[in-house]
Structure 1
């Protein structure tokens, strides 16, 4: 019995080795290739994204400062008021309650002759014309957010419209949850239009921007020690194209593009390094979409610039300069 077990084990090893040997010889190796990308010129933005909801910039409970009888209620619910308007007066001659800002009386809890106590909420005023949104920003990104920065705002209710805004405040204290701290950033909406309180928003805070500059996909820039370089293709075709190494200097970057301050000219083509594997892929790989290959195409890692480029997340898109 032991003899037959030993013979069986040897056969398994021999057959397995033969299969591996023939598969190794027949398998096509991973091939390093490249695809061209054009050097574009235009505007480049670095953005941080976040989500929030629309709220009123000014919304306030009106509180009685005295204990006494209401002499007269001078407004009605849903009435528009201006800052300083008298809203409620008292029989004892105490200072009346006035509107703290322009807005709408959204709540009115007293009538003439009612007795109120000090610190009792008697009304509420909301300004629907001045709106804001507040988003949470990761602790790694918040140092790049400053008061006065421009913000692009999208609302789910208005998919085809982009609103603009401005950062008005950055929280000095964060909220810690699941090992990460985040900070509230408040944004004034410039022209709210038909936006309503409670609508959801997606914002992009522009933390840096440059105009009329050269840029390339961030994967095109490689590093050799302290030197940054790209491979310039002599034509726009990846097949049979020759390339030359060119040292470059870079500026700002987002998660897709990087500014080139020297070393390239508009209209040149640079190589984006990729690897092509002939193994079957069950996903809709980049290779399958471009040329009907069964293989999977991956950007090479390691030698390229990191996708973040040391810049904030959020991935702003270039505007006006193509490359889209």
Structure 2
């Protein structure tokens, strides 16, 4: 008798589990299409190129003798002493021209003493200016044509995350460095007011290469391309309106500056127009877990018809999307 009872119980359990598994496999997913929109805005657009490097002194050089076999009469400075450009550092017994400081800075080492005889080219001291600092950042070769001397730079330093420093581009390397199939060029940036900065600190630079005031712009993923024609999808009924309303039109546009987030529209739309963004699809389903049933929520789907953000100045955003 007990055997039959266990058989019946087993059949019921197997049937229940099988039914739940079948329902979880065949239950329809609820799919919701979310219509996303953005408003055409007017404001200032700034195109920046980034690079990273470390803080270093503008002046850091060995001081060398330019005369041969002369005896030192006197060393006028000590290690750690601050000097100004033109100050005498070392004099000679034969009244030869003294060795002078080529720039402002600190004498970090002295390698000779009074009575020593020195030779042409011998290093006698080292000079470093810790108050006049710069950074050298690596910039991708595709961005180098946009870099020019005198461009404004914003600098962030890891040691002071809440402080923004400024600087100017002072030099661009004539030769690049190749690694892993890509080439970068050194760009030197002089730092203005380097308060609290120390040599060796890491820095991130954002070089302003182009800007425009009162530009009309939309998010980069609002722009589509079809047969080399750029367009946006305008919702004339305004925001929060679905596509079935019949208020959606495809509007050809011309583009200008582009940042990683926004693209300038120079013709085709007006400030305040509502444009549609790529749709997001979400769904919900139930799933069977060992030991019991658990209900889960489906994740957000990927963007449909989305665009790659532009990363440089002067390039018009290129993307693919649905044609009308």
The match for 1:184 is: 186
2:116 pairs, out of 114, 132, 137, with: 114
Which structure has the larger Rg? 2
- Post-superposition Cα deviations, 1:264-290, rounded to whole Å, max 9, x if no partner, equal 22233211012415377xxxxxxxxxx
d(CA) in 2 for partners of 1:312, 1:157: 34
The match for 1:40 is: 41
Deviation at 1:238, TM superposition (A): 5.0
Bigger share in strand: 2
Consecutive unaligned residues in structure 2, runs of 5 or more: 1-20, 286-295, 316-324
SS in 2 for 1:299: coil
Is this contact kept in 2: 1:232–1:271, CA < 8 A? yes
Aligned positions of 1:249-260 closer than 5 A = 249-260=254-265
Consecutive unaligned residues in structure 1, runs of 5 or more: 1-18, 281-291, 314-324
TM-score, with length taken from structure 2: 0.78
Root-mean-square deviation (CA), in Å? 2.7
The match for 1:284 is: none
Is this contact kept in 2: 1:81–1:105, CA < 8 A? yes
Task: Summarize the Cα distance change of 1:90–1:257 in structure 2 as closer, same or farther, 3 Å threshold.
Answer: same
Deviation at 1:306, TM superposition (A): 3.8
- Post-superposition Cα deviations, 1:149-195, rounded to whole Å, max 9, x if no partner, equal 21110001110111111111111111111111111111111221121
TM-score, with length taken from structure 1: 0.78
- Post-superposition Cα deviations, 1:115-139, rounded to whole Å, max 9, x if no partner, equal 2222111111112222110011122
d(CA) in 2 for partners of 1:259, 1:111: 66
2:276 pairs, out of 271, 274, 288, with: 271
d(CA) in 2 for partners of 1:142, 1:192: 25
The match for 2:300 is: 296
Is this contact kept in 2: 1:147–1:167, CA < 8 A? yes
How many residue pairs get aligned? The number is 280
Deviation at 1:311, TM superposition (A): 4.6
